[in-house]
Amino acid sequence: MMLVKETVMKETLWGNLPSEILERVLAFLPVDSLIRMRCVQRRWNELIANSHSFAKHHANFSPHSRWFMLFTRHMSCFLAYDINCNKWHRVLVPGTPFLPNQLPLSTDSGLLCYRRRFVAHKHQQQEPIELLVCNPLTGSSRQLPSLNAMKIEVLGMVCGLEADGAAYRIFTVANVSTLVGGSCDYEVILYDSVTNQWTTECSFQSDETWVPRPAIWFQGSFCFLSQSETFYTLQFYDMQQRMWIEHATKREQFFFHNNPFLMECQGRLFIVGDTLQICFQILELVEEEAEAEETHRSRKWVKFDVMPRSLYLDYFENVNVIVAGNGNFIFFQTQGCERTLMYNISHKSWQWTSDSGVVSQGSPYTGLMFQPRIGAVA
**pLDDT for res 52:** 73
Residue 357 burial (C-beta neighbours within 10 Å; 0-12, 13-18, 19+): exposed
Mean pLDDT score, 290-310: 76
Look at residue 185 and tell me whether its pLDDT is greater than 50.
Answer: yes
Which span out of 14-28, 147-161, 230-244 was modeled with the highest average pLDDT? 147-161
Q: In this structure, how many other beta carbons lie within 10 angstroms of the beta carbon of residue 307?
A: 19
**pLDDT for res 249:** 42
Grade residue 196 by pLDDT with cuts at 50, 70 and 90: very high
Better pLDDT: 229 or 10: 229
Give residue-wise pLDDT tens across range 80-119.
898 888 888 877 655 555 555 678 899 998 899 988 765 5
8 A C-beta contact, residue 260 and residue 272: yes
8 A C-beta contact, residue 147 and residue 198: yes
How many Å from the N-terminal Cα to the C-terminal Cα in the chain?
62
Q: How far apart are CA 125 and CA 148, in angstroms?
A: 13
Q: Annotate 49-88 with b (16+ C-beta within 10 A) or e (fewer).
A: bebeebbebbeeebeebbbbbbbbeebebbbbbbbeeeeb
What average pLDDT is seen over the chain? 80
Look at residue 124 and tell me whether its pLDDT is greater than 90.
Answer: no
What CA–CA distances, in Å, run from 290 to 97, 233, 247, 283, 325? 50, 21, 12, 21, 29
What CA–CA distances, in Å, run from 376 to 127, 192, 311? 30, 16, 38
**pLDDT for res 3:** 55
Q: Is the pTM of this model over 0.85?
A: no
With residues binned 3-state (H G I as helix, E B as strand, rest as coil), the percentages for the chain, rounded to 5, are: 15, 40, 45
Sheet with 349-352, edge to edge strand ranges: 321-326, 329-334, 341-344, 349-352
Mean pLDDT score, 203-210: 86
Q: How far apart are CA 189 and CA 194, in angstroms?
A: 15
Mean pLDDT score, 53-79: 76
**pLDDT for res 126:** 59
8 A C-beta contact, residue 345 and residue 367: no
64-119+127-370: what fold? Answer: Neuraminidase (2.120.10)
Q: In this structure, how many other beta carbons lie within 10 angstroms of the beta carbon of residue 161?
A: 15
Which span out of 59-63, 320-324, 341-345 was modeled with the highest average pLDDT? 341-345
Give residue-wise pLDDT tens across range 350-359.
999 988 876 6
Mean pLDDT score, 342-349: 95
Specify the 3-state DSSP secondary structure of 332: strand
Q: Which amino acid is at 331?
A: F
Long-range own/partner contacts, residues 187-190 (CB < 8 A, 24 or more apart): 187/149, 188/237, 189/147, 189/149
**pLDDT for res 250:** 44
Among 131, 45, 136, 155, CA closest to 96: 136
The ranges assigned to domains in the chain are 14-63, 64-119+127-370
DSSP at 149: S
**pLDDT for res 253:** 55
Grade residue 125 by pLDDT with cuts at 50, 70 and 90: low
